[in-house]
């Protein structure tokens, strides 16, 4: 626990008049230097969880502690150690980019002007432009530059690449996140982009309808399941459901995804039914995520 930067315990949010919590008993720890991706489909509770961690949403029950402080009462000093990018890159519209930088520099002692200039050059930011005139992608870049220039120890990013073009998107994951992580910062980011995440994340947290369904490494997540193809025109009968993640008929064959350790069971079922199974293969993280977070197998 001593190196735990973020401790989340039973964090839950039940909105008024809702019958099920948007986030339900979320628990995890973030250790120093870890890069963790918070994954989930739209409405899974990612942003709500991050807002509660940042103290901008009041938990219905449970708590989050950041650098040992309750998220509901974060001190100014602790906030100075955290970089937070809210979903949608909210910025003060009537300010110019330079004014935003000035405001951020004023309110973050760890502000690195040179770093901001580097990022501004990289992102091709015009410091004289008013925020309200920026495109979605430009806002994202400004937001990123401001957050990064604060050199935070803990970075909470809520869908940071939303609106970024392909090139910057790639740079963001390959270079920026990598660089920050190399500098010893701890990162928790929510995103939809699984392939990029696999390059930088040490761990995945997968939320489904507010509940934490997976807390594991990307490799372990991917290796936990295999897919096989089975040639059969009609319905298949008696497929073992134990460990079954998905079975779908497409292009004249069945695509069956199941947990790796159930491979023997599936193989013996196929033998009994005199069906020919294809060679087991692994799924991309993105494909697996989609199947994993589907409502039912």
Report yes or no: 105 and 147 within 8 Å, Cβ to Cβ. Answer: no
Contact string (CB under 8 A) for other proteins, positions 269-288, x = contact: --------------------
Q: Which distant-in-sequence residues (6+ apart) come within 8 Å of 18 by Cβ? A: none
CB of 93 to other proteins, least distance (A): 7
Strand-pair partners of 216: 204
Q: Which of 63, 118, 171, 215 binds other proteins (CB under 8 A)?
A: 215
CB of 170 to other proteins, least distance (A): 26
Q: Confirm if 7 and 1 have CB atoms less than 8 A apart.
A: yes
Query: Taking a C-beta distance cutoff of 8 angstroms, is the pair 3, 18 a contact?
Result: no
Q: Which is nearer to other proteins, 105 or 171 (CB)?
A: 105
Closest CB to other proteins among residues 85, 119: 85
Nearer to other proteins, 276 or 284 (CB): 284
Q: Footprint of other proteins on residues 82-121 (CB under 8 A)?
A: 82, 84, 86-88, 90-95, 99, 102-103, 106-110
Could you tell me whether strands 253-259 and 225-231 are parallel, antiparallel, or unpaired per DSSP bridges? antiparallel
132: left (phi over 0), alpha (psi -120 to 50) or beta: alpha
Q: Give the shortest CB-167-to-other proteins separation in angstroms.
A: 26
Min dist CB 10 to other proteins, Å, is 7
Burial zone of 80 (CB within 10 Å; 0-12 exposed, 13-18 middle, 19+ buried): middle
> Nearest approach, Cβ of 239 to other proteins (angstroms)?
12
Q: Which is nearer to other proteins, 15 or 179 (CB)?
A: 15
Q: Tokens representing 254? A: 């069945």
Q: Closest approach of Cβ 233 to other proteins, in Å?
A: 26
Q: Name residues contacting other proteins, limited to 55-84 (CB under 8 A).
A: 55-56, 58, 60-62, 72, 75-77, 79-80, 82, 84
Question: Contact region for other proteins (CB under 8 A) — 112-120, 162-170, 214-222, 229-237?
Answer: 214-222
Which DSSP symbol is given to 281? B
- The conformation of residue 284, written as its DSSP 8-state character, comes to P
Q: How far is CA 156 from the centre of its chain?
A: 10
């Amino acid at each position: 626990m001593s190196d735990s930067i973020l401790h989340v315990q039973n964090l839950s949010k039940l909105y008024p008049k809702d019958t099920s919590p948007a986030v339900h008993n979320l628990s995890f720890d973030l250790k120093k230097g870890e890069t963790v991706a918070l994954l989930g489909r739209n409405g899974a509770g990612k942003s709500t969880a991050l807002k509660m961690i940042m103290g901008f949403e009041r938990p219905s029950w449970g708590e989050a502690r950041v650098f040992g402080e309750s998220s509901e009462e974060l001190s100014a000093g602790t906030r100075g150690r955290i970089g937070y990018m809210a979903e949608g890159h909210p910025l003060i519209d009537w300010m110019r980019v330079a004014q935003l930088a000035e405001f951020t520099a004023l309110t973050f002692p760890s502000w690195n002007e040179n770093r901001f200039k580097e990022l501004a050059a990289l992102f091709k930011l015009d410091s004289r432009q008013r925020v309200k005139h920026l495109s979605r992608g430009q806002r994202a870049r400004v937001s990123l530059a401001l957050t990064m220039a604060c050199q935070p120890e803990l970075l909470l990013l809520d869908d940071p690449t939303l609106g970024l073009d392909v090139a910057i998107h790639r740079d963001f994951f390959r270079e920026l996140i990598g660089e920050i992580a190399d500098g010893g910062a701890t990162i928790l980011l929510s995103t939809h982009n699984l392939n990029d995440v696999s390059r930088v994340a040490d761990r995945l947290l997968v939320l489904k309808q507010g509940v934490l369904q997976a807390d594991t490494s990307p490799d372990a997540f991917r290796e936990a399941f295999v897919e096989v193809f089975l040639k059969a025109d009609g319905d298949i009968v008696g497929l073992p459901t134990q460990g079954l993640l998905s079975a779908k008929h497409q292009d004249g064959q069945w695509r069956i995804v199941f947990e790796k350790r159930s491979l023997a069971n599936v193989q013996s079922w196929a033998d009994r039914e005199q069906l020919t199974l294809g060679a087991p293969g692994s799924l991309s993280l993105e494909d697996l995520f989609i199947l994993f977070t589907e409502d039912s197998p």
